Structure 1
Amino acid sequence: MDKDVNKDSLNLDPKSNNDYISKREKQLDAEFQKKIVERKKKFLEELKTENEVFDNRTLLNIYSLLTGKHIDEFSGIINSGKEAVVFKAKKGNEYFAVKIYRVSNCDFKTMWKYIQGDPRFHLRKSSTRQIIKAWVEKEYRNLMRALEHINTPEPILRRENVLLMEFIGESGTPAPRLKDVKVNYNEFYELIREDLKTLYQDAQLVHGDLSEYNILVKDDEPVYIDFSQGVITQHPLSKSLLIRDVKNICNFFKRKGVKCDYRELYKYVTGEELSIIDEEMVNIY
């Protein structure tokens, strides 16, 4: 053995080494748990200041985003509606959007109507939790499908009634909705017209709830959000929902002085004439 090595400095007893490692692991675990508790407390305070009330299971789903290191903190509300609230969140210098459905406020009958006709889902109407989980899964899949063809937020992950996605905006400031910003309306109508056609014919998807409220404006281009009601073109409600979409779009742009007709827009998107029967079906749904 090298003479420079002090035998007393070596611990050759395996039991002693294992005891040291075990003690150190417990110490590190205690430190980690303390950080988790502090982080959870901060997280709950953040939600409390936003005047939002969620059930325990939802809080656990949201909290899993923090412990999973997907985000570091919440930093305000982007939008709040009856059934869902969209938070702004951060990880480092990057911003994200977190959409959280309020389970107690959701219209499960309407959700079920949109889900049951979708061949992508085979769900038995057994619990509200299963329905809302399928609803968020549907929005996630719709965004993934639409993203291949038009501007939408990129979905990142979902946890039951929670959806994490790309933040649309600059330096933490959300992009404005079409209803809140002035654009060249004639040019913007043409962009939306083309996107609707692409969404229908290439992505085989109908937004289902399209209006000036669900279109953001970023870099002078439309970005489409809120795809939870979106359906594929094979869905029995797809025609009715598309008619409603084109009517909403044309009503908005008409108010801005753009010459447009929803029947012409429907034909441009689908390649088919709009029948009286199809229009009557809109009132049923």
Structure 2
Amino acid sequence: MVKAKVKKPSFRRKNAIKPKAKFPLGKSILVLVLILFSIMAYHYRDAISFYINSKRNSGTTIDKVAQARIHQVLTKHEDKTFGFDVSEYQGEINWKEIDSVEHKFPLHFVFIRATAGKDKVDSWFKTDWNSTKKHHLIRGAYHYYRPNENSIAQADNFIRTVSLQKGDLPPILDIEQMPESQSIAKLKIGLKRWLDRVESHYKIKPIIYSGERYYSDFLRDEFSEYSFWIANYNFFEENIKDDWLFWQFTEKAVVEGIYENVDLNIFNGTPIMLKQFTKSK
């Protein structure tokens, strides 16, 4: 007698692990983008709010973005001291109207171009220099250095033009150009001769102005005994660095009383500290 085969019932293990569905790459990228956007939106919330609520009806989007960045940087440095710099390119200035940026950030100091090279005198220097004193701004004068001209002749041009008084900022050497007919080593010798001659005359150590790249590549190490005023307009640069005495962070500021865009600067300290840095006698 043949026994019938009994078919065993099939069953499924209760603890069997189902394979997980793969998360599409496109969705992963979208989520990452949204997260990064949220972080950026929060970080720039003051600038975005300023941009949206801007009452300026004229100007390009680029102008408004520049103003939003200015607002962002000023807001982050409310414990510092703000100022600006001018030259003949700003033309006639109504000094009576100059008070603050956005009616919120007070302006305490101004740098004025006095001379350039061995014989150039800024056409508005004398007028602007005298006006700042009348309107209680701490003032400083700067010389635009031309690498291919004699350094002593340039220093003498500045000395003939600028008379510093008690309460004025130290003289400033503005170096931005690369030499055409001399080496970097000889350029540095010329800069040092200018600085020594000017310091000997005014009895106060000058400040050096330059762009951040020029500063880090050629000046920082060999001129470490000097204070620096650094230009950096990078949109993503938001904080003054410890080794910068002044930071020129924009050339597109709008200031009442000045009818062209103007550079804005931050002093790495309080207004009281700024006064302590001026000429004492």
Tell me whether the two structures share a fold, i.e. TM-score over 0.5: no
- Higher-Rg structure is 2
- Asked which structure has the greater RCO (Cα within 8 Å, sep 6+), the reply is 2
Give the structure-2-normalised TM-score.
0.29
Whichever structure has more helix as a proportion of its residues is 1
